[in-house]
A and B are shown apart, each in its own frame.
Chain A
């Protein structure tokens, strides 16, 4: 799998590198040479990997097949989703509020609903703590809460 994907990726990258616009000054190929070398390198690695993987598969037949998504894959997808929401809210509702939401979302998923008290405290303490440290100690302003302006 890895081999095939890398080969395909290497070929596509090389084509894209070749299609890059020409330089207007000097040698028109200048900006393409290095990327072309990278594309070919990836393709070669991909082909080599495919050959090696093919050989191994003949020797050992694959026995394991994953059924459905594992617990950790689900958690990763969840984290990415929560981060997306976090990114969307970040500048709109300010650092403190968006981070409290983000931290709670993560803590409830990882730490469990039973420990909701700990989750709420940790999330609030972290958000407010970081905000104060950044603003007062490091002098880096973070997005403020709307209306209240704090």
Chain B
């Protein structure tokens, strides 16, 4: 207990250094701007702004990324409220009541409550995280290669099976991602795999290049469809951005209820912010005395999902930081940023680099405060970005994406790889194959194979090691469960569907 508090104090010392405060503010503002752009969310924000952090050193880079991550979450709901276009999936729930509120002339209250709810949700979730991160990391130290392999398998299996509509496509995406990870020199035997005789491919395909390609190029390609529409009309003049006492009296309970819910969902691999926000919304609708008000500008319908969304984004960092296994596309990108800095997230991070692990957690608290400050009084100025036509902004995003990849490797070969993956991302989108399992698999692919083979070496080739400990059995059971559950559900549904059509 004392150790945690002491570590946290040290973390705050790092986060409060003036230069780090500057970075988190800058990251937050830039993240907010990218988050506001229709279709672009935290994953794109972190991917595109990565190059900015090269020269900062690990602590500064991480703190900036944290600001970007949070900022993009705050920004996503701005465009939901004002132009009814969510910045990313997690901000969809903010359009349900946020946009009607703006239409009813209550844009100021909507912007304010979304920032307030996000702030409270993020703050409480960070406190949860402070007390959970170390125990989880300590528990993970007991894991051997077999357990680690199963844990990674569970994380990507869950992400794949959470894919709404089509579980098989989720798994297909996972297999494709793992295949990409196989390219290059086999680390254990030195055999060249799938390099097609190319020297450049021997070191493997850099996952950062793939991430930037999928999240920057792929997303911009997706947006080409709507680019002709031009800018949407929106309110640009605002009164005082704040809520009334009555608003607060009605929303504080839903905010407090939605926070733990969002946090738990976020910590589960695969579920993520979208599901957290939608569940919080439905939950409040069911609890409400007048559910018919939802969707017509009910302030609770905006506050609850916003709190859940931010809480889940904090929860999602727990498996990434303390286990080294990201549970969503966005945290996978964050992990990519850490790996680029030479830091291997996981239980050892808290032991070997406590300054960085706790500095990150402390800067989440600081980032949250700064973003709330930035987003309430300055919201009127920031949303002007929405008035800049996307036709100009998308080329800039592309330009940033290319300079980012070049800065990673100093080679134009990656431009070609990016084009390939940008197109792959676009076709995956057309075929409705989700991208999150793909990205996740690319990042954990090599580690997965190594722990699989290490486990078999320990057991002398016997598969029994994967059911050799209670932890392993539990993980395996959860993995199988996560695969079978959605299949049973969809079978039940189709049976119900056919029996209805029979009538």
Contact = CB atoms under 8 A, between A and B. Distances in A.
B39 to A, nearest CB: 13
B54 A138 contact: yes
A106 interface: yes
A135 B228 CA distance: 36
A137 interface: yes
Residue among B224, B396, B407 having the largest count of chain A Cβ atoms under 10 Å: B224
Given A87-B412, A122-B392, A139-B55, A46 B172 contact: yes
B16 interface: no
B171 interface: yes
A38 B192 CA distance: 17
Nearest to B196: A16
A44 to B, nearest CB: 9
* Chain B binding surface, main DSSP class: helix
A105 to B, nearest CB: 9
A45 B175 contact: yes
B224 A126 contact: no
A74 to B, nearest CB: 9
A75 B224 contact: yes
Given A79-B221, A99-B399, A118 B392 contact: yes
Nearest to B415: A87
A30 B453 contact: yes
Contacts of B186: 23, 31
Contacts of B182: 34-35, 38
A62 to B, nearest CB: 15
A20 B168 contact: no
Contacts of A122: 392, 395-396
B168 A83 contact: no
A72 B39 CA distance: 15
Contact residues on A (Cβ < 8 Å of other chain), bracket:
35 or more
A24 B228 contact: no
Given A87-B412, A111-B389, A24 B399 contact: no
Interface string B148-192: 000000000000000000001101100110110010001011111
B171 A41 contact: yes
B493 interface: no
Contacts of A31: 186, 188-189, 191, 193
A22 B419 CA distance: 33
A73 to B, nearest CB: 9
B194 interface: yes
B52 interface: yes
Interface string B372-402: 0000000000000000010110111011101
B406 interface: yes
Nearest to B414: A87
A140 to B, nearest CB: 5
Contact of A34 (B54, B392, B449): B449
Contacts of A84: 416, 419
6 contacts: A1-B431, A20-B193, A38-B182, A48-B168, A134-B403, A134-B407
